[in-house]
Structure formats: structure tokens, C-alpha cells
Chains A and B, each alone.
Chain A
Amino acid sequence: MEDELILRKVEEARKKRLKEMWSVFKNNRMAYLASYVLVAMYLMALVGIFITPYDPYDFDLSRARQAPSLSHPLGTDELGRDILSRIIAGAKYTLGISLMSVTIGALIGVMLGLISGYMGGLVDTVIQRAVDVALAFPTILLAIALIAALGQGVVSLIIAIAVSTFPVYARLVRGSVLQVINEDYIAVVKLLGKDPWYIMFKHVLPNITSPIIVQSTYYMGLAILLTSSLGFLGLGAPPPTPEWGSMIGSGRVYLFSSPHIVVSPGIFILVTALACNLVGDGLRDTLDPKSRMFIRRV
């Protein structure tokens, strides 16, 4: 049948396009590598508690602040707990908090920004003035106030960080929407009689993914840092949670005598944040047809 022949050829072309997208991502060496690092980190977060060499909560003051050795590869902290075990067990908190908070913040912010930019008028004004108010608070102050109100804990941390990130998304997305909304191709879809939600999510949103991805990867790193800042102030994950930021916070007193307590979780935070940024860059290049490296006419 002719129809089947056409469909087979079309399917081949589709597979080829997907393969090309993958090869673009793979060609971005740094992003490709970083994606493995991220996967490893998240695997660690998932199975962490089962593979720790020591109990991350078991303290023993007799072996406090030991330098890295064969039995404790990253040394022990001020209470004699194995740092490697704590880092492995703590991955789920740090990565979980940053991922959840950024996802929630991005979802709310992108929704608000899309509606605000697309609808315009009174809706736009109301949303943007609310965003103004939210942006007027310094991030850390807002987070402190929220945690004070909600009580200390991982969930409050997630909510606090999400609330302090979404206004930036709302503002960013609104601006991008306003650029896209007047394009002729949007007018064409409107004329086809598609409903506003379809146009917003299917035609406007995919055109503005670049700034959203860049912002999200930046915020993944920032969320980890914010968690540790709050931990530093005693508002982070409550002890003895082995959250990386809190580990830095509690180890800061010994920064000069036993730097390994602070340096190890610091390096993990750094690597994770960096990997997020690199993967984000790679994703942006892969998802945006125009910035794909195989730009050529087919």
C-alpha cells in the first residue's frame, strides 16, 4: 500500500531526527559527561542509605575530627561520624530539596508567567504586582520568615525555597511570552481556533524553554547554597540530618584546624551545581532546533 510506504519512510525520518538530537547532546562532551555525574548523584540519593560504609548517625567522640585515612576515606566530623557515609546518606536531602523546590517554583512561576503574558490586561497587572511584592523581599529573609512560620524541617525548606524562586520565573517567562506572542505563527494557530491553553503550552512555551532551562539549572545550584545558608543560620534541615549544607554549617568552626569537614561536602555541592549547569546548557542546545550544531538544509 502506498500509505504504508509513506508512513514507513516518515517513521524513518522521525527516528533519524531523534538520533540526530541525541548525537548533538553527545557531541557536547561536557554536558554528556555531566549527565553521567548527575545520574550517579541521583542514584546515590536513591540507594544511599544501603551503601554507606558506616552508620551516618553513629557518633563516637573518641574518633572526632580524624583526617582522611583508609578506614575513613573522607575523615570524620566533630562528633566522630564518618563523613563519606554522611555525604552518601545526605545526598537524598540535598538533591531532593533542590530538585523539589526548583521544580515547584518553576511550575508555579511558569504558569503564572504564561497566563500573565498571554492574557494581558487586568490578569497581567494583578499577577505582576503580586510578583513585585514577592520580589521586594530579600530571598533569604523571605525563606527565614516562612520557616519561622512553618516550623523547621525538610518540607518547610522546600516550600521556602520554592516561594522565593517562583517570582523570578514569573517575571522571566512573562517577558519571553510577550516576545513570542506577536509572532505571525501564533496568530495562525489562533485563527485555527485552538484554545488558549493549547496555544500557551504547545506553541508559546516550547519557544521560551531556553531561558527557563538556564534559570532552572542556575537555581539548582543556588537552592543547594540557600539550603546551606539556612543551615548556617540554624534554620536548615534540623540536626542530625546529614544534609550537605548543614554539614558545612556545623563544620565551619573547625575550618582552620580540620578543613576536611567543610571541604568534602563543599566539593560535592560544587560538582553537583556544575553538573546541573552543564547538563542545562546541553539540553538547551539540543531542544532548540536553531542552536543545534547540525544546522544544515535537509
Chain B
Amino acid sequence: MGEKVLEVISLRVYYDLPQGTVRAVDDVSLDVRRREVIGIAGESGSGKSTLALAITGLLRPPAKVVSGKVLFNGVDILRLSEDELRRIRGRKIGVIFQDPNTYLNPIYTSGFQVAEVFEAHRGIHAKKYLNEVVKLFRLVKIADPERRVYAYPHQLSGGMKQRVLISMAIAERPDLIVADEPTSALDVTIQSEIMDLLAEIREETNTSIVMITHDLALLFEVADRVAIMYAGKLVELGRASDLIKDPLHPYTKALLSILRYERKKKLTSIPGSIPSLINPPPGCRFHPRCPYAFSKCSKIEPKAVDIEGRLVACHLVGGSE
């Protein structure tokens, strides 16, 4: 395993709302190594997007960091000024967003908008970079790149637009790419193409990728390690192959059983719904929905324990303290 590119240390991000404080990310620790694809999965509202925003330094009020660090190449991103962040974001950390349709300005050609990224970081006029844009388009497998440089967003398909956005994210060969649901807005066939593309880019540019999604099937295809989040907590983190073979946390088990749903069988779901993050249940946050819950679960919050390189936060596994 290579050195750590990104290290999240017991991060807590809360949202101060009139209704109360939402504990969106609560004591999450995570590390990303060079050339690694790490997937973060969870239901809607599990805090995975908030985590992505924190990593990219995009948290805005009412979100506030209560404690913890996000170390990127040893520098705490959360302590940087907006100017310093700008020098890192886009250059060292690339960001890919969910819906490619809204992130391109409809009145400019796709090539110009990619060139603008170069312009912003290197300060020479955008036109000078058309060469590099074409090369980037080739890298993200846009057919006929010389012509596509002058194509407007509405002339491109959704998958093509996502490729353009990916080329913007990797323009400066970042050390880390944060992809927040990069395929949710795309067709199923395009989804796997984009995933394959990201995996290839990892091979070619030696970048690490943090992939955030609720699409487990896609995630397990490309991710080296997978982190499962539930209600702001990291419940399990481990190698994708281990996790899929032998899930330890009951929540992971439940998620995977849904994934393994077979034809003609009734679609299963996890009973209950994700708890309010304003008043999360005491003890383990999953215990109201957990089929294995026992008395300890509703009282004491389980600590994450390391089992052969996997982190699991459950009273059922690991030694009882």
C-alpha cells in the first residue's frame, strides 16, 4: 500500500438548523492511499455527501466542523483560507459532481470551459490551452475530440457531458478525485462506461479516487476498499472483496442481501427508516432496525474495532470491553 494521500481523523460536521443540530457526520475516520479507489456507500441522509464536501473544502454554513481533521498530503484542509483552498482544489483535488447537465454553461463550447480551468490555474488565456483540452478529451475517450471542442453542451449526450466534466477534474492531474455520485444522473449502460473510465484514469494518472454513491453494485466493481456509512457514522470499512464475501456489520449484511436479490423473489428491504440526525437513537444508531440487537446496543455506542484490517463498529464483533 502506498502512502496516505488523504486522512480523515474523527471528523464531526454538524448543521445548525432552527429545528436543532443535525449531526450529519459524526466521528468518522478514514484514510485514502495513493492509487486507491475508495467507495463510500450509504442511504440518502447518511452523511456521505457532507463528507465529500468536507474533503473538498466546500462546506458552507449552516454546516460547521465541530472537531476533527482532514489531512491532505499532511495539510489540514479545514484550516485553510479560501485562497489557499483554491490552490489545492482543482489542482490537487479534482471534483466530479452528480448531474453533468447543470455543471456546464449552455452558451459556451465544452472545450472553452475545460480550457477555463487551465486559465484559472495557470493564468494564461484560455485559447492557449486548446491543445491540451483535445488531449484530455482523448484521455476521457471522447470520440473526435478536435470537433467536440467546439460542441455546445446541448449537442452532447449526458455521458459525454460527464466525460467533459471528468476531463475538467483531471485537467491538472490531481492526487485525489472526489466523485459525488458521478453516475446517478446517467443511463445504466453509460454508468458502467463512466466507472470503467474512472478506473482507467486511475491507472494512467496514479490518482486516488473517493467514490460516493448509493449504487453498491457499481461500487463493488471498481472500489478497492469500501466504507459503509449509516446515519453519520462509519459502520464498516474494509477491502471490497472481503466486504462482499463476509460482511460483519448487520447493516452491511442487510445492504448486501438487497444487492443479491434474485429474480422472481420478493424485493427485500431493511425494515424501518433512517433515523433523524437531530436526535439519533442512543447507543448504536442502527439498533432500532437491527435484527440482532440486544440490550447493550441501545445503551452503549459501539467503538470501531480493527479485525484483520477491517474496521467494524458493532457489539457483535470483536472483543467485548
**Do A290 and B150 touch across chains, with their CB atoms under 8 A apart?**
no
Query: Which of A16, A193, A296 has the most CB atoms of chain B within a 10 A radius of its CB?
Result: A193
Cα A191 to Cα B168 with chains together (Å): 13
Cα A288 to Cα B107 with chains together (Å): 7
Across-interface contacts of B154 in A (CB, < 8 A): 289-290, 295
> Closest residue of chain B to A294, judged by CB?
B155
Question: How near does chain A come to B285, taking the closest CB pair, in angstroms?
Answer: 32
**Do B86 and A17 touch across chains, with their CB atoms under 8 A apart?**
no
Across-interface contacts of A193 in B (CB, < 8 A): 83, 86, 120
> Closest residue of chain A to B133, judged by CB?
A10
CB contact between B86 and one of A9, A191, A298 (< 8 Å): that residue: A191
CB contact between A192 and one of B106, B117, B130, B151 (< 8 Å): that residue: B117
**Do B150 and A10 touch across chains, with their CB atoms under 8 A apart?**
yes
**Do A6 and B131 touch across chains, with their CB atoms under 8 A apart?**
yes
Judged by a CB distance under 8 angstroms, whether B11 is at the interface is no
Question: How near does chain B come to A7, taking the closest CB pair, in angstroms?
Answer: 6
Evaluate whether A289 and B152 lie within 8 angstroms (CB atoms) in the complex, with A3-B131, A7-B131, A191-B90 already known. Answer: yes
Question: How near does chain B come to A192, taking the closest CB pair, in angstroms?
Answer: 4
Across-interface contacts of B102 in A (CB, < 8 A): 183-185
A-B contacts counted at CB < 8 A amount to: 80
Question: How near does chain A come to B104, taking the closest CB pair, in angstroms?
Answer: 6
Across-interface contacts of A207 in B (CB, < 8 A): 105-107
Judged by a CB distance under 8 angstroms, whether B103 is at the interface is yes
Query: Which of B113, B149, B150, B151 has the most CB atoms of chain A within a 10 A radius of its CB?
Result: B150
Question: How near does chain B come to A294, taking the closest CB pair, in angstroms?
Answer: 9
Q: Quick one: which of B65-106 are within 8 Å of A by CB?
A: 83, 86, 89-90, 97, 99, 102-106
CB contact between B149 and one of A13, A189, A295 (< 8 Å): that residue: A13
User: What string of 1s and 0s marks CB contacts (under 8 Å) between A176-195 and chain B?
Assistant: 00000001111011011110
Judged by a CB distance under 8 angstroms, whether A203 is at the interface is yes
Judged by a CB distance under 8 angstroms, whether B225 is at the interface is no
Question: How near does chain B come to A63, taking the closest CB pair, in angstroms?
Answer: 57
Judged by a CB distance under 8 angstroms, whether B156 is at the interface is yes
**Do A297 and B99 touch across chains, with their CB atoms under 8 A apart?**
no
Judged by a CB distance under 8 angstroms, whether A206 is at the interface is yes
Cα A6 to Cα B60 with chains together (Å): 41
Cα A295 to Cα B83 with chains together (Å): 40
Across-interface contacts of B108 in A (CB, < 8 A): 206
Question: How near does chain A come to B60, taking the closest CB pair, in angstroms?
Answer: 10
**Do A192 and B147 touch across chains, with their CB atoms under 8 A apart?**
no
Across-interface contacts of A288 in B (CB, < 8 A): 107
**Do A13 and B150 touch across chains, with their CB atoms under 8 A apart?**
yes
Across-interface contacts of A16 in B (CB, < 8 A): 150
Across-interface contacts of A29 in B (CB, < 8 A): none
Q: A6-B135, A290-B152 are in contact. List 8 more A-B contacts (CB 8 A).
A: A10-B150, A12-B146, A13-B149, A16-B150, A183-B102, A189-B105, A290-B154, A297-B156
A interface, CB within 8 angstroms of B: 3, 6-7, 9-10, 12-14, 16-17, 183-186, 188-189, 191-194, 203, 206-207, 288-290, 295-298
B interface, CB within 8 angstroms of A: 58, 83, 86, 89-90, 97, 99, 102-109, 111, 113, 116-117, 120, 130-131, 134-135, 146-152, 154-157
